[in-house]
Amino acid sequence: MADKNSGTTDLSAAQAAAQAGSKTEDNPIPAGTKPVEEVNREFQEKSTLKRAKELGLPYIDIARTPLNPDFLKIIDIQDAKEGRIIPFFSVGKKVRVAVDDKNNPETKKIIKKLEDRGYDVNINLASSAGIDDALDIYDSSQVYKKKKIVESVEEKDIQTYEKEIADLADLPEKLDKVTAEEGLNLINIGAMKTKASDVHFEPEEETVPVRFRIDGVLHKVFELPPKIYSKISEQLKYQSGMQLNVATIPQDGRYVFIFNKRKVAVRVASIPTPYGEAFVCRYLPAGKKFLTFEELGFQGLALKKLEKASNISQGMVLVTGPTGSGKSTTLYSVLSKMNNPENKIITLEDPVEYYMQGVTQSQINEKKDYTFANGLRSILRHDPDIVMIGEIRDLKTAETAAQAALTGHVLLSTLHTNSAIESIPRLINMGLPPFMVAPALNTVVAQRLVRRVCEKCSTLEPVSESEKNEFKEIFENLKKVNPGTEVEVPEKIPKVHGCDACSNTGYKGRVVIAEVITITSEIKDLILNNSSSVDLIKAARKEGIVTLREDGFIKAAQGVTTLEEVHRVTNVAM
């Protein structure tokens, strides 16, 4: 079986690795090939060879034949899939193809197409499993091919596109006049221009609303008539490598395009609905510059503690918060601080969100039983200094993670809790004994994202009486517990309006509000003594912490965000 994750077209190398059952350093995903499969496969190849002799056709072990992308291009990927046909050699107008059933009407159709194009077609028989493997390889070489196509969107084209979509509301009209491929390009560029993180196509009975997530909030930007939507959705499925003829089950795909000389990977997920397939496209810019803690929004005590946590040589650092609170961005920033040639860093993610140079990143694969818990165990065999795992959500993972943190590794991960201190009872409730939690845990960050006010259109307005009281209550309490804190109730705070620069949302960009707790020896003792959350909070308070809400109010007083935003993200329970 070919190793799909290697992205190589050199089948023999991938196969050799799979056969040896080895896991390369760069890709610690187990190959998952079982000896019994090997035996079955050998048997299949032998019987195919026999069948070829009977039919008087040459036999080819296509899975062991290196596939040349130039030859693959002779047949379009969709045709290759439908006709189960792989071109593997060509000179001039002569082409050798592998098929698993030369009488399959779809296969015949594609061969006829080739002949119509003037090709002299030499048919070779291959096993069905071999064709499947070769099609997978063909698929992975598509990423490369797509990149080529979209690269033709040059700087000047982008400028034209930008003018075209000056008003996104006009987009449906434009989409009616262009090819599906250009249409999807227009939507992608619209998403890039508005800095959307994802685009949602949500078909209804008579129309298809398209929503962009900008700064974490979904906005409906336009609606597509079903006729145009079907064109765009087909293109989306084709481009992301989904099965075109399947519309009743969810599918996942991926493609890459270039925007302003930067590679952007798009993860596409489809969901069947009564009115057609809905899609969510997530944009993942590559070569991303990882933000500093200050740029993310950490300040004061939280910043100091986080910087200290980035210099530890062993222990567990957790970032907590609900989905969409920017946990992984913070983890990546911690990781990029720790990323130097002396440190061996391995990550286990679901999925890999950004690529980081010098770091071995792997992705969990539930189907291959490469879960967080199993993956972490195999990662530890590679002797890393620092391990990042996407999330701790079960006891097995928590145990392995704590063990790693107790045996000289730095372990970074996320946990789904509302506050920093809650992560302690959460780990204990998962079943991790206090005697492991206490020594393993080093630092816990709880965070949310609030939107920054748009600098172009926001105005400073006097605080109302009720707002003043809110600030007073929060700040007086904060000063009581952290006497050194310099905070004042503001005279004026920002109010948002909306302009072209912020797509009329009033906000532009986001900033973290956070609370960071260092697990001091006093807190460790409390954990060991099964103390209540109240006592834990008291101890953390004594050590000096600024809570999420307090940090939010400080940022509102600084004019970075609004009180509405702070309430929006700190009031919701998960």
Nearer to Zn ion, 221 or 359 (CB): 221
Q: What is the Cα–Cα distance from 434 to 223, expressed in whole angstroms?
A: 54
Q: Give the shortest CB-193-to-Zn ion separation in angstroms.
A: 15
Q: Give the shortest CB-500-to-Zn ion separation in angstroms.
A: 7
Q: Give the shortest CB-225-to-Zn ion separation in angstroms.
A: 31
Nearer to Zn ion, 456 or 542 (CB): 456
List of E strands, 233-337: 251-259, 262-273, 276-285, 315-320
The sign of the torsion formed by the CA atoms of 288, 291, 296, 301 equals positive
Half-sphere exposure of residue 114, counting CA atoms within 13 Å on the CB side?
A: 29
Q: What is the Cα–Cα distance from 73 to 78, expressed in whole angstroms?
A: 11
Nearer to Zn ion, 232 or 454 (CB): 454
Q: Give the shortest CB-259-to-Zn ion separation in angstroms.
A: 23
Q: Give the shortest CB-561-to-Zn ion separation in angstroms.
A: 14
Pair 573, 534: CB distance under 8 Å: no
Strands 492-495 and 459-462: antiparallel
Q: What is the CA radius of gyration of the chain?
A: 28
Q: Give the shortest CB-562-to-Zn ion separation in angstroms.
A: 13
Nearer to Zn ion, 428 or 499 (CB): 499
- Which residue minimizes CB distance to Zn ion? 454
Nearer to Zn ion, 441 or 454 (CB): 454
Q: Give the shortest CB-456-to-Zn ion separation in angstroms.
A: 4
CA-nearest of 21, 23, 20, 19 to 5 is 23
Q: What is the Cα–Cα distance from 90 to 74, expressed in whole angstroms?
A: 9
List of E strands, 92-161: 94-99, 120-125
- Residues forming contacts to Zn ion in the complex (CB under 5 A) are 454, 456-457, 499, 501-502
Pair 212, 218: CB distance under 8 Å: yes
Tokens 């089950």 — which residue? 249
Q: Give the shortest CB-215-to-Zn ion separation in angstroms.
A: 12
Nearer to Zn ion, 57 or 499 (CB): 499
Q: Respond yes or no on whether the N-terminal peptide bond of residue 250 is cis (omega within 30° of 0).
A: no
Nearer to Zn ion, 338 or 454 (CB): 454
Nearer to Zn ion, 55 or 501 (CB): 501
Burial class (CB in 10 A: 0-12, 13-18, 19+), 169: exposed
Q: What is the Cα–Cα distance from 353 to 267, expressed in whole angstroms?
A: 10
